[in-house]
Structures are given as structure tokens and as C-alpha cells.
């Protein structure tokens, strides 16, 4: 028997399970069908391709970080992305009992609760608006500390980092998102001493998301520059007018390079290392 769900277009219907299967490999479709949110190109690209152990996303205000982070947690949690090595058989089939019993936790965090709560509140709003998505969620209490739990055994926790990342220590995390990373003092030390360890045993990933704060975001800058050198994706800064009609943002210029050197970040070093890698030197 097939459970049919209307797509909202006259004369069209789609199987919920067909949509669920497609959503696994098509995150943009998942966000549209199950969350009721249409991703712009930048969000869709990050959802699909940001699969490194540590992913950096530095954006402007109003870019849509909150929607993206909701999509990342909901998508990864519903499919238990990254844990396939535990529940997939050698012939490519899924071991359903293992899939449903597997403990799978994702954590959204920030330096302060007010920052972390934006994603929690948006997730509750999405669940209230989407019956398709709510069908896969077992509970989402409003009591604190909050969490969202899926029918497949996935649990999404919302926390603050605390001192030296003590707020999330002791957990094995498949997906960890850190919002407003530009505000976090000592981020590099937390990454080395706690955060990377929390994802290591389950082969999880970390998203560092935020906007650059001049004079504050030293560690976040450093990680974004490393990611830029590794991936070849340029870091761009908009100069002058905020009007999009003025043209595309200019590339990192000499004034920005000088600014980054104050934080011990020499872009030439990363550029040279990247070019040596391209030429196999």
C-alpha cells in the first residue's frame, strides 16, 4: 500500500516514500518537500558538497544560515548520514533493525543560548508548518535544554558551548554545527582539545558558521583561510556599496591581507602550499 501526499499542484501526487528516497541524495529537494523551504544556490551547494571533517561557512547577514542549519540537521538526522558503515549491508541493502536502534546524535551549539536558540525556534516553526516532516518526528518538547527526536532513533540537541566546550563534552556526535563562530574566543583550542574528539569515534563532521567580526574572529578567520587554501574556494569581501547592482564582491585585496597578518595569517603561505599540491611537489 502506498501513502500518497499531494504536492500542491493540480493533478499531481507523489508517494511519501518515493519522496523520502529521493531526498537522501537530493538535499535541496528534501528541504523543499519536507521543510517547505526553497534553498538559494549557495545553500543548495553547501548542503550537497560540504562533507569535509570540518566545513567553514562565512556569510553576510540575512544570507540564510538558520534555514541552512535546520536543513543540515533534519536531513542528516532523518537519514543518519555518515553512519552508513554501521547499518548498510555489503550488498548495499539496509539493515533496518540496526538503522532504527543505532544511537545517532547531532548537536547545534553557539557561544550563547540566545544565538543557539534561533535555530531551535526555526526548527519548531518548520515542524509546526510541515505535516510531512512532523510524521518523521517523535517528540520536540519546549522544555529546556531542548531536543528534537526522530522516529528512527535520531536525537538533535541544542546546547551552548560553555567554558572550553564543556557544554558538549562526553558525547559522540555525528554532526556538530557551531553558529556565530566569529564570536567564539578560543575556538581553535576548543577544536583541538574537545570538538574534533567528539566526532572522531563516529566519523562525524563539524560545520563552523558565522560572519567575520573585525578584531574578534581570529580563529574563525584562520580556519576559513585554511579551508580556502585546501578547496580553492576564494574568500571574497564586499567593499563599498551594499547595493547588489554595484557588481560582484572584489577578491581579497592587499588591505585585507595586511589585516589578516595581524592575526598571524599569511595568505601567501597557504597559496604556495596549495599550488605545490596542485603540481605534485
Domain assignment present for 121: yes
Beta bridge partners of 107: 157, 176
Query: In this model, does residue 72 exceed pLDDT 60?
Result: yes
Long-range contacts at 110-113 (CB < 8 A, ≥ 24 apart): 110/160, 110/161, 110/178, 110/179, 110/180, 110/184, 111/160, 111/161, 111/180, 111/183, 111/184, 112/160, 112/180, 112/183, 113/160
Give me the number of domains the chain comprises.
Answer: 1
Domain assignment present for 204: yes
Domain assignment present for 242: no
Tell me how far apart the terminal alpha carbons of the chain are, to the nearest angstrom: 59
Integer CA distances (angstroms), 144 to 112, 117, 148, 166, 200, in order: 14, 11, 11, 17, 27
Q: 128: which residues sit within 8 A by CB, 6+ positions away?
A: 134
Can you give the residue range of the structural domain that contains 178? 52-211
Q: Average pLDDT over the chain, rounded to whole?
A: 83
Q: Are 64 and 43 in contact (CB under 8 A)?
A: yes
Domain assignment present for 24: no
**Number of other residues whose CB lies within 10 A of the CB of residue 253:** 10
Query: In this model, does residue 262 exceed pLDDT 90?
Result: no
**Number of other residues whose CB lies within 10 A of the CB of residue 118:** 17
pTM: 0.79
pLDDT category of residue 2 using cuts at 50, 70 and 90: very low
How does pLDDT run across 100-140, given as a tens digit for each residue?
999 999 999 999 999 999 999 999 999 999 999 999 999 99
pLDDT category of residue 145 using cuts at 50, 70 and 90: confident
Query: In this model, does residue 235 exceed pLDDT 90?
Result: no
Domain assignment present for 68: yes
pLDDT category of residue 75 using cuts at 50, 70 and 90: very high
Look up the CATH number of the domain holding residue 183. 3.40.50.300
Domain assignment present for 220: no
Amino acid at each position: 500500500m502506498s501513502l500518497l501526499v499531494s504536492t500542491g499542484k493540480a493533478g499531481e501526487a507523489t508517494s511519501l516514500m518515493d519522496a523520502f528516497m529521493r531526498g537522501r541524495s537530493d538535499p535541496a529537494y528534501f528541504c523543499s518537500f519536507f521543510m517547505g523551504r526553497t534553498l538559494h544556490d549557495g545553500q543548495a551547494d553547501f548542503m550537497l558538497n560540504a562533507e569535509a571533517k570540518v566545513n567553514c561557512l562565512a556569510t553576510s547577514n540575512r544570507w540564510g544560515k538558520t534555514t541552512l542549519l535546520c536543513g543540515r540537521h533534519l536531513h542528516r538526522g532523518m537519514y543518519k548520514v555518515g553512519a552508513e558503515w554501521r547499518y548498510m549491508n555489503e550488498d548495499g541493502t539496509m539493515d533496518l533493525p540496526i538503522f532504527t536502534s543505532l544511537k545517532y546524535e547531532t548537536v547545534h551549539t553557539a557561544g550563547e543560548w540566545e544565538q543557539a536558540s534561533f535555530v531551535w525556534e526555526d526548527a519548531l516553526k518548520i515542524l509546526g508548518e510541515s505535516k510531512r516532516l512532523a510524521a518523521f518526528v517523535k517528540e520536540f518538547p519546549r522544555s529546556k535544554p531542548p531536543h528534537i527526536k526522530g522516529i528512527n532513533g535520531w536525537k538533535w540537541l541544542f546546547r551552548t558551548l560553555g567554558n572550553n566546550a564543556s557544554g558538549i563534552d562526553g558525547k559522540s556526535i555525528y554532526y556538530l554545527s557551531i553558529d556565530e563562530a566569529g564570536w567564539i574566543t578560543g575556538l581553535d583550542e576548543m577544536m583541538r582539545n574537545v570538538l574534533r574528539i567528539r566526532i572522531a569515534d563516529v566519523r562525524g563532521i563539524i560545520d563552523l558558521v558565522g560572519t567575520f567580526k573585525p578584531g574578534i574572529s581570529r580563529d574563525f578567520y584562520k580556519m576559513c583561510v585554511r579551508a580556502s587554501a585546501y578547496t580553492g574556494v576564494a574568500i571574497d569581501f564586499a567593499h563599498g556599496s551594499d547595493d547588489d547592482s554595484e557588481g560582484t564582491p572584489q577578491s581579497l585585496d592587499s588591505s585585507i591581507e595586511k589585516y589578516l597578518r595581524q592575526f598571524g595569517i599569511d595568505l601567501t603561505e597557504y597559496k604556495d602550499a596549495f599550488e605545490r599540491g596542485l603540481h605534485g611537489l
